[in-house]
Homo-oligomer: A and B are copies of this chain.
Amino acid sequence: MKVIIVGGVAGGATAAARIRRLNEHAEITVFERSGYISYANCGLPYYIGDVITDPEELTLQTPESFFKRFRINMKIHHEVISIHPERKTVSVKNLENGEIFEENYDKLILSPGAKPTQPRLPGVGIDKLFTLRTVEDTFRIKEYINKNHPKSAVLAGGGFIGLELAENLRELGMDVTIVQRPKQLMNPFDPDMASMIHNEMRKHGIKLVLGYTVEGFKGKDNGVEILLKDNPSLQADMVVLAIGVTPDTALAKEAGLELGIKGSIVVNDRMETSVPDIYAAGDAVQVKHYVTGDDALISLAGPANKQGRIIADNICGGDSRYLGSQGSSVIKVFDMTAATTGINETNAKKSGLEVDTVILSPMSHAGYYPGGKVMTMKVVFEKETYRLLGAQIIGYEGVDKRIDVLATAIHAGLKATQLKDLDLAYAPPYSSAKDPVNMAGFMIDNIAKGTLKQWHLEDMDKISRDKSVVLLDVRTVGEFSRGHINGFKNIPVDELRERINEIEKGKPVYLVCQSGLRSYIASRILEGNGYETYNFSGGFRFYDAVVN
CB neighbours of A527 from chain B (8 A) = 24
Which of A107-115, A169-177, A398-406 lies at the interface with chain B? A398-406
In the complex, A293 has a CB within 8 A of chain B? no
Q: In whole Å, how far is A362's beta carbon from the nearest beta carbon of chain B?
A: 14
A124-132, A418-426, A458-466: which lies at the B interface? A418-426
**Would A524 and B328 count as touching, CB distance under 8 A?**
no
Chain A positions 264 through 284: 1 when the CB is less than 8 Å from some CB of chain B, otherwise 0? 000000000000000000000
A interface secondary structure, majority: mixed
In contact, B305 and A434 (Cβ under 8 angstroms): yes
Question: Does A181 sit within 8 A of B, measured CB to CB?
Answer: no
CB A548 to nearest CB in B, in angstroms, measures 28
From residue 21 to 66 of chain A, which have CB atoms closer than 8 A to chain B? Answer: 21-25, 40, 42-43, 46, 51-52, 57-58, 60
A324 smallest CB distance to B (angstroms): 8
Report B-chain residues with C-beta under 8 Å of the C-beta of A427.
42, 160, 329-332
Given A309-B442, A433-B10, A449-B318 in contact, is the A423-B411 Cβ separation under 8 Å? yes
A344 to chain B, nearest CB (A): 14
| Among candidates B51, B305, B367, residue contacting A369 with C-beta atoms closer than 8 Å | B51
Task: Tell me whether A430 and B21 are in contact (CB under 8 A).
Answer: no
Are A421 and B306 neighbours in the complex by a CB distance under 8 Å? yes
A359-377 interface bits toward B, Cβ cutoff 8 Å, 1 = contact, 0 = none: 0000000111110000000
Contacts of A521 in B (CB 8 A): 21, 69-70
Name which residue of chain B comes closest to A10, CB basis: B433
When the two chains form their complex, are residues B449 and A328 in contact, meaning their CB atoms are under 8 A apart? no
Interface 1/0s, chain A 320-352, versus B by CB < 8 A? Answer: 000101111111100001011100000000000
Chain B residues with CB under 8 Å of A325's CB are 423
- Convert A1-20 into 0s and 1s, putting 1 for each residue whose CB lies closer than 8 angstroms to a CB of B: 00000000010000000001
Contact yes or no, A20 B341, CB < 8 A? no
Residue from the list B401, B426, B442, B451 in contact with A42, Cβ < 8 A: B426
**Of B10, B42, B302, which is within 8 A of A423 by CB?**
B302
Closest B residue by C-beta to A68 = B494
Q: How far is the CA of A528 from the CA of B404 in the complex (A)?
A: 37
Point out the residue from B21, B46, B413, B494 that lies within 8 Å of A428, measured CB to CB: B46
Assembled-state Cα–Cα distance A69/B525 (Å): 10
Flag if A451 contacts B21 (CB, 8 Å). Answer: yes
Could you say how many copies of this chain the assembly holds? 2
Asked whether any CB of chain B lies closer than 8 Å to the CB of A303, the reply is yes
* Contact between B422 and A407, CB atoms less than 8 A apart: yes
Specify which of A43, A57, A404 lies most central, judged by the most chain B CB atoms within 10 Å of its CB.
A404
- Judge whether A425 and B341 touch: CB under 8 Å: yes
Q: Is A237 an interface residue (CB 8 A)?
A: no
Give the residue of B160, B301, B426 whose beta carbon is less than 8 angstroms from that of A301: B426
26 A-B contact pairs sorted by A residue (CB < 8 Å): A21-B520, A22-B451, A24-B528, A42-B366, A42-B426, A42-B428, A57-B367, A68-B494, A69-B493, A71-B497, A301-B426, A302-B426, A302-B433, A328-B426, A329-B426, A330-B431, A331-B427, A404-B404, A404-B425, A405-B405, A407-B423, A407-B425, A408-B408, A408-B412, A411-B414, A411-B423
Q: Which 7 A-B pairs have the closest CB atoms?
A: A24-B528, A412-B412, A326-B423, A330-B425, A301-B433, A401-B401, A57-B368
Task: Please report A residues at the B interface, Cβ cutoff 8 Å.
Answer: 10, 20-25, 40, 42-43, 46, 51-52, 57-58, 60, 68-71, 160, 290, 300-306, 309, 318, 323, 325-332, 337, 339-341, 366-370, 400-401, 403-405, 407-409, 411-414, 420-431, 433-435, 438, 442, 449, 451, 493-494, 497, 520-521, 524-525, 527-529
Query: In the complex, given contacts A160-B427, A337-B430, A407-B425, what are 18 additional A-B residue pairs having Cβ atoms less than 8 angstroms apart?
Result: A21-B451, A22-B451, A24-B529, A43-B366, A46-B369, A68-B494, A301-B433, A302-B423, A302-B426, A302-B433, A306-B438, A323-B421, A327-B423, A330-B431, A404-B424, A404-B425, A405-B408, A408-B414
